[in-house]
Homo-oligomer: A and B are copies of this chain.
């Protein structure tokens, strides 16, 4: 199959490209490199050194003997999107090109608007481009488990059958997102569902759990590494905890730490996306996959990180700063995930073994972390309308802000 990956330069996009290439698929990519830019904007960088996209392409050529066709451009420009589709006629489009950080969306009014506007504009452009150029393409769109929030009932895969006041229906499951970013993904889901209905498209909406890991089997060389973010804005809780342990900082689960979320290893997320790609939705079908492997509390992650760190001779302690988010710190959580297992999904990695692998990489790249140790702790508070002042304060303790750090992410210019 020919697969177009929008956001191919990102944390998931890059290993997905490698995985699909190894499976014999043809890969075309789009990116505007905005994540690289915005990670710099908050004074951080990837823990793993990543080369320019041209270097990534060269590495794929040299190490895997494969080519990736790449278009630099922005999903908010409709002519660009429709031109790529017309030229490439992909069988499948995996849409990952979105602003993906909840804290970024909560910085202030401009970041809130930018997040929602960019994400829905890109998705609408892609839907119209598919309608116009490749109506037979299968769209695999990246959503998030965070769209559902934490209801006190089981979370089905997108739709549920209910009885209400004596009548029966199958309805979309209610969404209760927890940040402007998560709401933007809810909005995208609505738009994809609607477009699929009116234009008879084929779509898979992936409610993605939180991904962990630095590695997939295809990452056989440092030149093939994917990015790994650990700052408060772009990194996940587990990433932050592991980096905190390596840097000798306290491990910091927010609030009580009873928040439960669905998680999945990077390798298993790639397996899942590949299963979606290789088993397309039917015409007019809008299907939803809850794409996670197991649920953990934030305290589970903190304690596991603590234990693995001690095994490695590190000696972190656990501290609970106040939760900057507005979320339940203790709650019921039981999402259903049957659609991917029905297509053959099998867990290949478990959390502890992946965490040990993450530590191995982080210790190798410890000097890169040391240089950015000030970006790990939260400064963006959900209850504040404007967090720019506290961000500024953090910057002033760190390197060269508001001017972005001058060191490039190109490994040829940075010590690894």
Contacts and interface: CB of A to CB of B under 8 A. Distances in A.
Interface of A: 78, 108-110, 112-113, 116-117, 120-121, 124-125, 128, 131-132, 151-154, 160, 162-165, 167-169, 171-178, 180, 183, 186-187, 190-191, 194, 197-199, 326, 332, 382-383, 385-386
Contact of A152 (B167, B194, B385): B167
A326 B194 CA distance: 10
Given A113-B121, A124-B180, 12 more contacts: A108-B128, A109-B128, A113-B125, A116-B191, A117-B121, A120-B120, A120-B187, A154-B165, A154-B167, A173-B174, A180-B194, A199-B383
Candidate in A173, A177, A183, A382 with the most chain B CB atoms within 10 angstroms: A183
A208 to B, nearest CB: 19
Given A124-B116, A125-B113, A154-B167, A187 B183 contact: yes
A131 B112 CA distance: 14
A289 to B, nearest CB: 19
Nearest to A128: B109
A198 B178 CA distance: 9
Contact of A385 (B132, B164, B165): B132
A116 B109 contact: no
B162 A164 contact: yes
A124 B113 CA distance: 7
Candidate in A108, A169, A194 with the most chain B CB atoms within 10 angstroms: A194
Contacts of A190: 175, 177, 183, 186-187
Candidate in A109, A173, A183 with the most chain B CB atoms within 10 angstroms: A109
B171 A172 contact: no
Contacts of A109: 78, 124-125, 128
Contacts of A168: 152-153
Kindly list the 6 A-B residue pairs having the minimum CB-CB distance in the complex, ordered from nearest. A109-B128, A152-B169, A131-B385, A153-B164, A153-B167, A171-B174
Contact of A169 (B153, B172, B198, B199): B153
Q: How many protomers of this protein does the assembly include? A: 2
Given A112-B124, A183-B194, A164 B174 contact: no
B169 A383 contact: no
Contacts of A326: 197-198
A74 to B, nearest CB: 13
A164 B154 contact: yes
A186 B191 CA distance: 11
A34 B121 CA distance: 21
Candidate in A152, A165, A186, A385 with the most chain B CB atoms within 10 angstroms: A385
A159 to B, nearest CB: 9
A180 to B, nearest CB: 7
B116 A167 contact: no
A174 B197 CA distance: 17
20 contacts: A112-B124, A112-B128, A116-B121, A120-B120, A131-B385, A132-B386, A151-B169, A151-B171, A152-B167, A152-B168, A153-B164, A153-B168, A153-B171, A162-B162, A167-B332, A172-B175, A177-B190, A187-B187, A198-B326, A198-B383
A109 B199 CA distance: 13
A176 B172 contact: yes
A197 B154 CA distance: 23
Given A172-B174, A183-B190, A190-B186, A198 B382 contact: yes
Contacts of A177: 190, 194
